[in-house]
Structure 1
Amino acid sequence: MKFKINNANLLQGLGRIQAIVERRGTLPILSNVLIKATSDGIILAATDLEVGVVSTHPAEIEQEGSVTLAAKKLFEIVRELDEDDVNFGLEDGTRVRIECGSARFSLLSISPEEYPTIPGGEGVTFVELESSLLAEMIDRTLYATSSDETRYNLNGVYMELTDENRVRFVATDGHRLAKIDKTPPHPVAFLENGIIVPRKGVSEIRKLCDETDGPVEIGLGEGFLIVRRPGLLLSSRLIDGEFPNYRQVMPSDFRIRLVMDRDRLTHALRRIALLAHERSRGFRFVLEKGGLELSASNPDLGEAREILPVDYSGDRFESGFNARYMLDALSAMTSKEVLIELVDELAPAQLRPADDADYLAVVMPMRM
């Protein structure tokens, strides 16, 4: 194997896989990147057995072949190189020579035969989606996924097709929920039965969207969701579990509806949260005629209280919520105003952009 590649192109490809390769896994090969020199250019592949990425980069190929190298160390080396082009050559079957200007490196390689196969797009039917649409749906839901590994079925985003042929993303950690519906230009039939994509896979898909102008293609393989664009393919293993019936926790028959300036509420809540208890992050939400009082207390620090004017003339309403959960829901919106819908003191609060019915967030109440 022998080739020359542009330093910037190689650095971009290596940078993309840093969040995927394992640092100290049980399989040493998973800390490596698979490098293939082919007639089509250089192929970089990396996987942690949950998420895999394969990218193609132009290069001058003198001799085809494959090696695996320590992904993090190779990235650190390439990042420090000054010249435009980097030369790679396999020396004795176990070492790879790297040359750039006057710099010389020799890295050990693990046999590429040991590298796991990354699912490709063979036999998969793909559907085109705008990367901006996919990015928006991820931004509105990913924050609500659970990090509790014992509740593995909540450790990802649930994706399904609604009865109206809209694509729906839902995420919940049991304390809050986020849901968004969008109408794609093409039917996404493979979501008819619903799938759960792990949080890490969704995060990597979001990064792919940032790198893409225009559409991407998504498809469902055997236990994997695959997203691709020219020169890049990303696969994410699905969570083998049943997503809870999220419709049961979504409130209805609202008694109170408030429309508030989202930025003003967000900034006030951030100030109040400074004195919320560090573990529970709880704050009081009290509605009285003409005003919304937000307050929090911490026995070790003190108290905070702020009143915001609201168009409300009903009876006193008092509940408690987690400040971080409420702020996450507000931050996922881009609208000027937020609609807050309430049933009673013991029911969840529902938040949605005042001008957009496609997205909503639900925050469970807490005892204060």
Structure 2
Amino acid sequence: MRISASQDTLHHALQNVMKAVSPHCLVPILSGIKLTAHAGGLSLSSSNTHMMIQYELSLEDGKLEILSTGSIVVPAAYLSEIVRKSPSEQVTLEVTEHLILTIRAGSSVYRLCGMDPLDFPGMPEANPSLRFAIPSPLLHKVIKQVVFAVSASEHRPVLTGVSCQLDKMGRFRFLATDGIRFASRTTELSVNARAGFTPITIPGKNLNELAKLLLGEQGTTEVALGESWAIFKTGNVMVYSALIEGTYPSVENFIPASPTTEVLVHAEDLIQAIERVTLLADKSHLLRFHTTGKRITLTARTAEIGDVSEELIMEHRTGADIDISFNGKYMRDILRSADSPRTTLKFTGRLSPIHIEPYNDAQTAYILTPIRTQ
């Protein structure tokens, strides 16, 4: 194997595949990146057992030259740093002897001990039961709108993922909950699904990494969902995500049916007010939300430190006044993820879940469980 590539092109490719390299992996082969030079270009692959990434550098962009084909696995961290700090605009990679990769960049010559590519995990087949294409900016937005609500605890592994379902109308839904907050986003997509598509759960941390790869992408992402893997292909990169086993809890009854109070607010004003008030909130980020007429009063206190109170004007309200307490940090995260200038808060009582919905957006919904106080 021998290739020559521009430093910026190779560095960009390595940055993408490094997202699936675990820095503390106990399996040596998974600490590496597999390089495969073939007639059409260069493939870079990484894996951490629950996620794989493959990046294709093509000859067509004119920044890559394949002088001879072959394959090798090399330590990811060392290769990435060598290329990143290369003093030359052109980098040459060559297997000069058995499992030794020689890297030439300007006047620098590195020799890295490699590993047998036959020991590297192969890319899985999804055997998809559902396929669809979605604009990459939309997929990025959808992921960011729900993934923050996954659980950080491994006590219930299925809640660390995002559930992907087809609803009764044939629309695709992304759902996430940690038991305290709930996020739902429905998309109007033309999907190609086999009869009886079974909902799947994709690890939230994998979707977070996918969102980073999608940032700034303007094309389309092809999605294939199977029984064990989900595959996302956009541009030069392909992401394989293992699925989480287990049944996701039913969420059909999460959203309150008949709110007694509805409040319309400017989201950024409420976010900023919450951030100021929670400066003096306790460790549970407890914040009290009280309405009087068209005024909202936010209060918080920490014993032996102090208290704070702030008022803001709501845009519209229907129903009775409400006095309720909740986790201010969680509410702030929901309002940010909703990504809407105006937001409707719906209440059915001081101990009932709060329904948060972007204004005039029935496709996105959030639920936050209040905190019981005396």
TM-score, normalised by the number of residues in structure 2 = 0.93
In the alignment, which residue of structure 2 is the partner of 1:39?
39
Matched, 1:322 2:314: no
> The residue matched to 1:351 in structure 2 has which SS?
strand
In the alignment, which residue of structure 1 is the partner of 2:88?
83
2: CA distance between counterparts of 1:85 and 1:187?
43
Against the structure 1 CA distance between its residues 222 and 153, is the aligned structure 2 distance closer, same or farther, given a 3 Å change threshold? closer
2: CA distance between counterparts of 1:125 and 1:315?
46
> The residue matched to 1:17 in structure 2 has which SS?
helix
2: CA distance between counterparts of 1:290 and 1:122?
55
Please list, as runs of the form range in 1=range in 2, the aligned pairs for 1:1-368 lying within 5 A after superposition: 1-58=1-58, 59-120=64-125, 126-184=131-189, 186-189=190-193, 192-277=197-282, 279-310=283-314, 311-312=316-317, 315-368=320-373
Against the structure 1 CA distance between its residues 305 and 70, is the aligned structure 2 distance closer, same or farther, given a 3 Å change threshold? same
Residues 130 and 197 in structure 2, CA contact (< 8 A), matched pair in contact too: no
2: CA distance between counterparts of 1:349 and 1:222?
34
Superposed displacement of residue 113, structure 1: 1.4
2: CA distance between counterparts of 1:214 and 1:222?
27
What do you get for the CA RMSD once the two structures are aligned? 1.9
2: CA distance between counterparts of 1:30 and 1:354?
46
Superposed displacement of residue 316, structure 1: 4.5
Q: Tell me which amino acid in the other structure corresponds to 1:263.
A: E
Against the structure 1 CA distance between its residues 36 and 25, is the aligned structure 2 distance closer, same or farther, given a 3 Å change threshold? same
Against the structure 1 CA distance between its residues 290 and 55, is the aligned structure 2 distance closer, same or farther, given a 3 Å change threshold? closer
Q: Deviations over 1:143-168 (max 9, x none)?
A: 10111011100111111111112111
Against the structure 1 CA distance between its residues 285 and 43, is the aligned structure 2 distance closer, same or farther, given a 3 Å change threshold? same
Residues 200 and 227 in structure 2, CA contact (< 8 A), matched pair in contact too: no
Deviating runs (4+, > 3 A) in structure 1? 120-126, 310-316
- How many percent identity over aligned positions? 27
Q: Tell me which amino acid in the other structure corresponds to 1:216.
A: T
Q: Tell me which amino acid in the other structure corresponds to 1:134.
A: L
Against the structure 1 CA distance between its residues 260 and 248, is the aligned structure 2 distance closer, same or farther, given a 3 Å change threshold? same
1: CA distance between counterparts of 2:126 and 2:259?
46
Superposed displacement of residue 249, structure 1: 2.6
Against the structure 1 CA distance between its residues 188 and 339, is the aligned structure 2 distance closer, same or farther, given a 3 Å change threshold? farther
1: CA distance between counterparts of 2:321 and 2:227?
54
Superposed displacement of residue 252, structure 1: 1.9
Q: Deviations over 1:254-278 (max 9, x none)?
A: 000111111211111111111111x
> The residue matched to 2:19 in structure 1 has which SS?
coil
Superposed displacement of residue 343, structure 1: 0.2
2: CA distance between counterparts of 1:62 and 1:104?
18
Residues 120 and 233 in structure 1, CA contact (< 8 A), matched pair in contact too: no
TM-score, normalised by the number of residues in structure 1 = 0.94
Q: Tell me which amino acid in the other structure corresponds to 1:17.
A: V
Ranges in structure 2 where 5+ consecutive residues have no aligned partner:
59-63
Residues 129 and 193 in structure 2, CA contact (< 8 A), matched pair in contact too: no
Q: Tell me which amino acid in the other structure corresponds to 2:79.
A: L
Residues 182 and 358 in structure 1, CA contact (< 8 A), matched pair in contact too: yes
Q: Deviations over 1:125-159 (max 9, x none)?
A: 74221112211211110110111011100111111
Q: Deviations over 1:284-311 (max 9, x none)?
A: 1122333221111111421111122345
2: CA distance between counterparts of 1:57 and 1:140?
31
Superposed displacement of residue 83, structure 1: 1.5
Against the structure 1 CA distance between its residues 156 and 296, is the aligned structure 2 distance closer, same or farther, given a 3 Å change threshold? same
> The residue matched to 2:231 in structure 1 has which SS?
strand
Against the structure 1 CA distance between its residues 285 and 140, is the aligned structure 2 distance closer, same or farther, given a 3 Å change threshold? same
> The residue matched to 2:257 in structure 1 has which SS?
coil
- The more displaced of 56-65 and 36-45 is 56-65
Against the structure 1 CA distance between its residues 125 and 351, is the aligned structure 2 distance closer, same or farther, given a 3 Å change threshold? closer
- The more displaced of 203-212 and 226-235 is 203-212
In the alignment, which residue of structure 1 is the partner of 2:61?
none
- The more displaced of 189-198 and 43-52 is 189-198
Ranges in structure 1 where 5+ consecutive residues have no aligned partner:
none
Against the structure 1 CA distance between its residues 125 and 155, is the aligned structure 2 distance closer, same or farther, given a 3 Å change threshold? closer
Residues 144 and 177 in structure 1, CA contact (< 8 A), matched pair in contact too: yes
Against the structure 1 CA distance between its residues 4 and 124, is the aligned structure 2 distance closer, same or farther, given a 3 Å change threshold? farther
Q: Tell me which amino acid in the other structure corresponds to 1:8.
A: D
2: CA distance between counterparts of 1:312 and 1:126?
43
